[in-house]
Amino acid sequence: MKPGIIKVLLFGAAADRAGTREAEVSAEATTLDEFWPLLEERHPGLSPMRDTLAFAVNGEYARGGDRVSPGDEVAVLPPVSGG
Amino acid sequence: MDGSFAIVEETIDVGALVSEAQRPDCGAVSTFVGTTRIDESGGASVEYLEYEAYRPMADRKLQEIGAEIAERWDARHASIVHRIGRVAPGEASVAIVVASPRRGPAFEASRYAIERIKEVVPIWKREVWSDGYVWVGSQVGTRS
């Protein structure tokens, strides 16, 4: 499959560490685990948080083996702290 | 079960939520209000809290918590309202109102709702102190 744009949204402490709330990463269809290094390369400030982060793909929680494809929206979610 | 699930930027009208929950087939309305607490440390103090949400995922997660309540308890009405943006000390950041024929389920369901919010709803708060800020749960910020 051809590479395409995967939109990344960052929240809370992750947005702080990345220095942005939004990013676009060009990638082929892959898994979240394989997508992470692409994001980390562009935003190395995220690295120390890796183990605390959760992810959502298109608005639903996703795990490392889940698929990410061009056109998808990936959200980087630090530990939630609502309430 | 009826009710409403919302993320709002304005003051939460807890009284209105309680009024909406009262109904003749229910003998209990349980209300939980989470308010912003001011902590102090090292001569500094929290000035306000600021919340942000991943929408519409956060809206959908609140609705899912409502559905879980409807599955587990005989709740006839449930409302969950979470505020985002800047919230001043002592103001309500979240309100949960559950009506049930009897008090047990109303208490249990409202407790369940706040615990689930803290587990699964993509909302984050930042404590803004007199000397910097901290993202609660991540300990990332500008305070030394």
Give residue for tokens 């709330």.
A21
Number of domains in chain B: 1
Taking only the tens place, the pLDDT of each residue in B84-112 is 999 999 999 999 999 999 999 999 999 99
Whether A51 has its CB under 8 Å from any CB of chain B: the answer is no
Domain assignment of residue B51, given as a range: 2-37+44-131
* Residue B62 located in a structural domain: yes
User: Does the pLDDT at position B41 exceed 90?
Assistant: no
Rounded Cα gap, residues B9 and B52, in angstroms: 10
The predicted structure's pLDDT at residue A1: 66
Instruction: Using CA coordinates, name the residue in chain A closest to B87.
Output: A83
* Residue B104 located in a structural domain: yes
Q: SS in 3 state form for chain A?
A: CCCEEEEEEECHHHHHHHCCCEEEEEECCEEHHHHHHHHHHHCHHHHHHHHHCEEEECCEEECCCCEECCCCEEEEECCCCCC
In chain A, what are the domain boundaries? 4-77
CATH of the domain at B31: 3.90.1170.40
Instruction: Using CA coordinates, name the residue in chain A closest to B91.
Output: A83
* Residue B138 located in a structural domain: no
Banded pLDDT at A41 (limits 50, 70, 90): very high
Banded pLDDT at B40 (limits 50, 70, 90): confident
Contacts of B118 in chain A (CB under 8 A): 80-83
- Topology given in CATH for the domain delimited by A4-77: Ubiquitin-like (UB roll) (3.10.20)
* Residue B144 located in a structural domain: no
